[in-house]
Structure 1
Amino acid sequence: MSGIGVIVNPHARGNTNRLAERAELLADLVGPDGVVRVTESLPAIQDAALEFRKRAVDILAICGGDGSYHCTLSGFRAVYQDGPLPMLLPLRAGTINYIADSIGGRRGRPEQALARVVRDYRRGRTYETTERDLLRVNGVEHGFVLSFGTAVNYLRAYYALERQGVLPAARLLGRLILSAVAGTHLSRAVFQATQADVECDGIPVPFRQFTFFFAATVDRIALGFRPTYLGTRKRGYCHVLGGPVSAMRLIRRAVRIYRGFPTGEPTLFDNLARHLVIRFFRPEHYMLDGDILSPAERLEVDVPCRVTLIRG
């Protein structure tokens, strides 16, 4: 038995208002060639992973936002262990969907993307695919983009907005830039420095304060910015960028960051790494694919495997 398995995140913003209708429509699309599961929690994801592995599912479609990848991949890796995962199909049901953007995924509603892939599956056609490495954090959590400090503070402000999406996110970024220029409270609150010791492949990073930090295996994040422009450069590695850069110096380099060029900023460490160890001076929240995770004192990050993604 094989086919297409669809995971629907009921907490994703694009699914909340029409969850039952969307799940039914996706099930109609896959028909006898697949199965759709709405997963409320990590145990539910692991139950679905056990079922999908038993069915030898070929394609794992993830209908949710960027945080859905972290949750789904963590649950599936716990079940599949070191075995290969099915091909991943991003279905855009979030407010930003930068994972789909980072692989050049085709735009459109989840139903449209799934319908195209189901049609190709039934006709025996090949798919347009790409590969990305996965980050693993503390041996359990999996994803593509890791950050702490400023990114976490920005996400808190973003999730507190009455509406989420690309335009609200861009407006919030604009407010932050204006606040940094004016020196007001908002930028000071978001750009607070996080104290940590960081080692990349056993070599200490020459900073102990970080206002900006990313480690990623993709070369594009939210709003089209490309700070981790080397994220896909070398198999088995992630791009690490971080340091105590000030808000104003970061703003002056915003165009270079957006276009995916080296910043040339002396207060930013910028390199590839296979293994990271981050020791916070006190427990700190961190972000993985847009999800804010519980405070940790230590993060050990490696790049354990590679996944294949369908562009749709």
Structure 2
Amino acid sequence: MTINTDKSRKSFGLIVNGNAGKVKSGAYKAKDFQAIFRDRGLIRETHSLEDIPLVLKEFQEAGIDILFIYGGDGTHQKVISQVVASDLRFPYVAPLKGGTMNMLVKDVKLGGSAKNTASRILDLYDPINKKISSFEKPVLKVTTDSQQPLYGFYFANGIIYNILKKYYERPSSVMHAIRVTVGGLFGSFLPRHSYSHHFEPSQCQVIADGKPLQWDEYLGIMLSTMNRVVFGMTPFGKDSLSKKQFNFVAYTFNKRELLCRFVFLARGRWMNPPSVDPYSLEFAELICRSGYVLDGEVYDVREGASTKIEVGAYLNIPMISR
């Protein structure tokens, strides 16, 4: 990782996950972004978590207006966690498509090719007033016991946690993701299949805006400030939230019901209590027997740990379409 020795002010900074699939495959080309940024931006490639705060500090010292992040959902989550936790200030944050899972870029309508998206943002940017049309995106703050908070946009446990934990046993790829998901759905009905336990209910106590929910077993729980999540699903059945709210849905039926109603659930169309409970919340606390997923990254916690979720920050995301 090279640190900038040119102390002149820059407008744009691109942080690239050097371990991302598109980087390793050669789909990412630094020269494309160098041609777009010219002498107005910095490009830095990271290869470890320790590199991220160093790059962000360099970008802040250079006066970066727009922070571009190239990678998948996991990369965006790790960089944004560092930005928020370190109280760094970048006027705009623009996630770019560069990973296997790209929920965030699709949700904020920056899901085109990274090169074209960055070029369009720079075309719309007003360098004199240092402005671009943008919207505020709330970020979830996830705190487990006394650990350092994590920040992201999509939290899930239960079957999502089980499937992704299985997924990460092998190198990431789109085909492997499809294989694990389809195998999980159908293999879970075979008693000796490796996925048979992945769709069993998980024990969890849930407190939603100060009120305990009546169930103690869930097939899965999802919380998000996004409407569109994995595989393009829109399970929350809502289009808008108030400033401090996030989406919440808890599935309490069995795996057979899930398979039969999957298409409807994926579009938020089968929302009859008590099997599915959709909420708009400001605070949730989960005390569960297993870990969780945050923006595609798996986090294990000790059994019985308390995990608190609330909106913890807001990012200004550039708008390239209306």
- Residue of structure 1 in register with 2:17 after alignment: 9
Aligned runs of 1:38-187 on 2, under 5 Å? 38-80=45-87, 85-108=90-113, 110-121=114-125, 127=132, 129-138=134-143, 140-160=149-169, 164-165=173-174, 168-180=176-188, 185-187=193-195
Normalising to structure 1: TM-score of the pair? Answer: 0.86
Report what 1:267 is aligned to: 275
Partner of 1:33: 40
Offset, 1:3 = 0.8
Secondary structure, aligned partner of 1:51: helix
- Taking structure 2 as the reference length, the TM-score comes to 0.84
Q: Distance in 1 between matches of 2:30 and 2:71?
A: 12
Q: Which amino acid aligns with 1:295?
A: V
Task: Specify which of 253, 257, 260 is matched with residue 252 of structure 1.
Answer: 260
**Unmatched runs of 5 consecutive residues or more in structure 2:** 1-8
Work out the number of aligned pairs and report it. 305
Contact 2:100 2:172 in 1 (8 A): no
Supply the distance in 2 between the matched residues of 1:231 and 1:49 (Cα, whole angstroms): 33
**Does the C-alpha gap of structure 1 residues 290 and 74 become closer, same or farther in structure 2, counting only changes over 3 Å?**
same
Q: Could you say what the CA RMSD is over the residues aligned between the two structures, in angstroms?
A: 2.6
What SS is found at the alignment partner of 1:276? strand
Q: What is the SS of the residue equivalent to 2:109? A: coil
- Kept in 2: contact 1:215–1:228 (CA 8 A): no
Deviation at 1:303, TM superposition (A): 0.3
Alignment partner, residue 287 of structure 1: 293
Q: How many Å apart are 1:106 and its aligned residue? A: 4.1
Q: Distance in 2 between matches of 1:2 and 1:156?
A: 40
Aligned mates of 1:97, 1:59 — CA distance in 2 = 20
Asked if 2 retains the 8 angstrom alpha-carbon contact of 1:144 and 1:217, the reply is: yes
Q: Which residue of 2 aligns with 1:203?
A: 211
Matched-pair identity in %: 22
Structure 1: distance between partners of 2:316 and 2:224 = 16
Contact 1:49 1:79 in 2 (8 A): no
- Preserved contact between residue 145 and residue 289 of structure 1 (Cα < 8 Å): yes
**Greater share of helix:** 1
Unaligned runs of 5+ residues in structure 1 are none
Which amino acid is the alignment partner of residue 53 of structure 1? Q
2:29 maps to: 22
- Aligned-pair distance for 1:126? 6.6
